[in-house]
């Protein structure tokens, strides 16, 4: 069945990120084993809860402060947390503009309010826009939905809201467990290996095959 809808992940797929930069930033603030608290693959419950919008910014920041032996400011915590967020190349926005002529596009991201505020500021500075709404039919963020990938319910929720036929819907993510979650929900799915190619390359190579 022909693909009519594409659901994109944000971090890693469209927005370049480097988790190691945040790990290193927190180590420099005094949490020597921060990678045990947070990695891309296995997060502690603190980060899961924050990504689902179940705890506030203040709660998140104060909890991270509690892991520091020396006093650190809110800004130091926020800057370290945002260190992983890099750039969004214009060619990827151009890709979305072109795809939108033939597909319904939706963004589905596991993210949090601090990262969204930073990302919004980046978009205003770099592209003079507030968000990515001109490139997508809808933006879905885990912190607004109180659920997150790879749970099957979030894919089912998006498809129901958008009235997408799952067999006509493609999901693209750089995290394999999220890809598997989409597959379990009945969507078609592609895993982007960011060490080998960009989303532009993947689309040009793979999407025409669906």
Domain count, the chain: 2
- Condensed to tens digits (0 to 9), the pLDDT of residues 27-65 reads 999 887 888 777 655 567 899 999 999 999 999 999 999
Contact 9, 113 (CB under 8 A): no
Whether residues 92 and 184 share a domain: the answer is yes
- Condensed to tens digits (0 to 9), the pLDDT of residues 137-148 reads 999 999 999 999
Whether residues 56 and 70 share a domain: the answer is yes
Query: Which CATH number fits the domain that encloses residue 42?
Result: 1.10.150.240
The 10 Å Cβ neighbour count of residue 114 is 18
Share of the chain above pLDDT 70, in %: 96
Whether residues 76 and 95 share a domain: the answer is no
The 10 Å Cβ neighbour count of residue 177 is 14
Q: Which helix (H) or strand (E) holds 164?
A: none
Integer-rounded Cα Rg, in Å, for the chain is 17
pLDDT at position 207, please? 73
Q: Which domain holds residue 52?
A: 19-82
pLDDT at position 42, please? 58
The C-alpha atoms of residue 179 and residue 191 are separated, in whole angstroms, by 6
Residue 111 confidence (pLDDT) above 70: yes
The C-alpha atoms of residue 124 and residue 171 are separated, in whole angstroms, by 27
pLDDT at position 31, please? 85
The C-alpha atoms of residue 39 and residue 47 are separated, in whole angstroms, by 10
Residue 179 confidence (pLDDT) above 60: yes
- What order do you get walking across the sheet with 104-109 strand by strand? 138-141, 104-109, 5-8, 169-173, 188-191
Identify the domain boundary among 82, 115, 134.
82
Higher pLDDT among residues 156 and 46, named by residue? 156
Range scoring the smallest mean pLDDT among 67-81, 101-115, 132-146, 183-197: 67-81
Give the mean model confidence (pLDDT) for residues 149-178: 97
pLDDT at position 35, please? 81
Query: Which CATH number fits the domain that encloses residue 130?
Result: 3.40.50.1000
The burial of 48, by beta-carbon neighbours within 10 Å (0-12 exposed, 13-18 middle, 19 or more buried), is given as middle
pTM of the predicted structure, to 2 decimals? 0.94
**If you ran DSSP here, which 8-state letter would residue 207 be given?**
G
Residue 68 confidence (pLDDT) above 90: no
Residue 210 confidence (pLDDT) above 70: no
Whether residues 122 and 78 share a domain: the answer is no
Whether residues 26 and 108 share a domain: the answer is no
pLDDT at position 142, please? 98
Identify the domain boundary among 28, 62, 82.
82
Whether residues 99 and 67 share a domain: the answer is no
């Amino acid at each position: 069945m022909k693909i009519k809808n594409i659901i994109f992940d944000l971090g890693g797929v469209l927005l370049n990120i480097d988790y190691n930069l945040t790990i290193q930033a927190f180590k420099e603030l005094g949490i020597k084993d921060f990678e045990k608290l947070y990695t891309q693959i296995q997060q502690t419950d603190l980060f899961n809860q924050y990504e689902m919008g179940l705890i506030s910014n203040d709660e998140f920041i104060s909890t991270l402060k509690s892991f520091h032996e020396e006093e650190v400011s809110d800004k130091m915590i926020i800057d370290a947390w945002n260190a992983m967020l890099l750039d969004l190349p214009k060619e990827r926005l151009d890709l979305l503009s072109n795809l939108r002529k033939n597909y319904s596009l939706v963004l589905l991201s596991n993210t949090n309010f601090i990262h969204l505020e930073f990302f919004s500021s980046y978009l205003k500075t770099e592209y003079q826009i507030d968000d990515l709404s001109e490139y997508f039919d809808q933006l879905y963020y885990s912190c607004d939905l109180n659920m997150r990938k790879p749970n099957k319910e979030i894919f089912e929720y998006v498809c129901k809201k958008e009235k997408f036929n799952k067999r006509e819907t493609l999901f693209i993510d750089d995290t394999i467990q999220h890809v598997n979650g989409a597959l379990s929900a009945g969507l078609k799915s592609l895993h982007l290996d960011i060490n080998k190619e960009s989303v532009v390359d993947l689309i040009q190579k793979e999407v025409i095959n669906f």
